[in-house]
Amino acid sequence: MFFKNLKIYSLIFLTSVIIVLVLFEIYASSRKDLFPSYGWQIENKMSKKITKCNKKKNIGIFGDSFVEYYGDDKINIAKILSKSLLDYNVCNFGLSGSDITEYINRFLYVLDNKIKIDKAIFYFYEGNDFYEFRYAEKNLSLKNLNIGNQEILNYSSNNVKGRELSLIKKLIKSTHSVNVIYREIIKKFFFKNKINNNFVKQIYSEDKYYEVSLDEAIKRMDNTPNKIKKLFSSDILNVNAYKLALRNPNYFNEDFNPDAEGFLVQKKIAYHHIDFINQKCKDYNIDCVIIIIPNDQFLFQESKKKNVNIFRFNPQLDFGKSKIVKDIIEKYDNIFYPENVLSYEDYIKNDLHLTGIGNFKIANFTLQNLNN
């Protein structure tokens, strides 16, 4: 009798769990911006992407996670644009974690593979697309400017990056439900990346730029509340932003308003990127625009508090467009900045990415300037 009841109760429990997971999956699928990091990331190979960019009139979109975020969901920025650009095939070439050099490499890959592009939209992110100057030594020639092993001004379609997922990763990323189980239970309690002294030492063993000593970084880590460390350890919060704050806590101050020498290098690098893009667009008769996505840190007091209290950056007090953004939108007539378009609520809480509503606003701003 006991085993019979146990079997019945186990069946009821299992059925209940399945029902809950199915209901959660339905809800999460309808509200992607409430669970932005769950289930959106898929494989990203340029060889496969260009096969879909095969219509008579194509638009190529290039950028980092702001372009790739939400995957194939309707609130992805490329999907939103495609609803209005009905005469075109909108091709999303974005790659999370990439930079302007990679945007250009992907652009070249498209061109070198004879894909016809009528228009190209590049999305630069104010928060991390103009940082390379911080790696430059005094009086260093731009031709020798490397970050790690990457020559950031040596563009090539042979150097495109991509993402290939293992079978396990594909399973984890396949649904929100499996993602929740993996992140909130399995990874948090069994495979978590512990935030401790060894975690910081690992950061300092990499070929990176450091503005504080290892001891100071460890002290900053020790002062991080345990509840926040747990969120970083299971990838609920962006652990790469936390790593950056530990080794470069003054990052946003320098990015917003570099000194005279730093700004000179920052401008030279930005001009080189932009001039190369514009020349290629001219050579191939492509209508190209560049949209700057604002860093919420420079716009809203709430974001400044987030970056200090959660990610542990030093306070950054100034508001408005960064120095480099002011410069390039004045210099180039095909670069646009959405001033007074976004609100604090348009950014995902404790993240840097845009919500679905934020993507709709940026898409509308893009359409206005693309048509002009």
Model pLDDT for residues 79-107, shown as the tens digit of each residue: 999 999 988 999 999 988 889 999 999 99
**Two tokens, residue 123:** 């999305």
Q: Is 367 exposed, middle or buried (0-12, 13-18, 19+ CB in 10 A)?
A: middle
Lowest mean pLDDT, pick from 133-137, 235-239, 294-298: 133-137
Can you tell me which residue has the tokens 């939103």? 80
pLDDT at 136: 59
Q: What's residue 7's pLDDT?
A: 67
Mean pLDDT on 258-277 = 90
Distances (CA, A) of 12 to 1, 7, 16, 155, 181: 17, 9, 6, 59, 20
Predicted confidence (pLDDT) per residue in 17-65, tens digit:
667 667 766 666 665 555 555 555 677 788 888 888 888 899 999 999 8
Residue 58 has phi, psi (to 5 degrees) of -120, 150
> pLDDT, tens digit, for every residue of 106-133?
999 999 999 999 999 999 999 888 888 7
Question: With bands split at pLDDT 50, 70 and 90, how would you rate the model's confidence at 138?
Answer: very low
| C-alpha pair distances (Å), 104 with each of 46, 272, 279, 288 | 13, 11, 12, 13
Rounded-to-integer distance, Cα 344 and Cα 355, Å: 10
Report the distance separating Cα 297 and Cα 183, nearest Å: 27
Q: Residue 227 has what pLDDT?
A: 87
276-to-72, 106, 118, 156 alpha-carbon distances in Å: 30, 13, 18, 12
For position 160, what pLDDT does the model report?
Answer: 87
Which two three-digit tokens encode residue 187? 């990874």
Phi, psi of 291 (to 5 degrees): -110, 130
Residue 44 has what pLDDT? 79
Strands (E), 50-92: 58-62, 89-92
Range with the lowest mean pLDDT among 3-17, 53-67, 219-233, 268-282?
3-17
In this predicted structure, what is the pLDDT of residue 239? 84
CA–CA separation, 30 and 49 (whole Å): 26
Taken as a whole, the chain contains a residue count of 372
pLDDT digits (tens, 9 = 90+) for 139-193: 445 555 555 545 778 888 888 887 776 666 666 665 666 666 666 666 555 555 6
| Cα–Cα nearest to 108, from 98, 86, 93 | 93
Confidence class of residue 274 from pLDDT cuts 50, 70 and 90? very high
Q: CA-CA distance, 258 to 256, in Å (whole number)?
A: 6
| CA distance linking residue 352 with residue 347, whole number of Å | 6
Beta carbons of 113 and 83 less than 8 angstroms apart: no
Other beta carbons less than 10 A from residue 311's beta carbon: 25
Residue 190 φ then ψ, to 5°: -120, -35
105, 155 contact by CB (below 8 A): yes
Q: Output the pLDDT for position 77.
A: 93
pLDDT at 139: 45
Q: How do 335-336 and 150-151 pair as beta strands? A: unpaired
pLDDT digits (tens, 9 = 90+) for 293-324: 999 999 999 999 999 999 999 998 999 999 99
CA neighbours closer than 13 Å in the CB half-sphere of residue 132:
25
First to last CA, the chain: 77
Whole-number Å distance between alpha carbons of 254 and 263? 9
Tell me, which fold does domain 46-165+252-371 have in CATH? Rossmann fold (3.40.50)
**Four-residue CA torsion sign, 26, 230, 315, 64:** negative
Distance from C-alpha of 62 to C-alpha of 103, rounded to nearest angstrom: 6
What band does 348 get if pLDDT is binned at 50, 70 and 90?
Answer: confident
Structure tokens of 291?
């949209």
C-alpha 325/C-alpha 197 separation (Å) is 37
pLDDT band at 9 (very low <50, low <70, confident <90, very high): low
pTM: 0.84
**Geometric angle at alpha carbon 144, from 272 and 264, rounded to 5°:** 50
Six-digit token pair at 160? Answer: 């495109």
Show Cβ contacts of residue 283 under 8 Å, excluding neighbours closer than 6 positions: none
Q: Name the residue ranges covered by the structural domains of the chain.
A: 2-30, 46-165+252-371
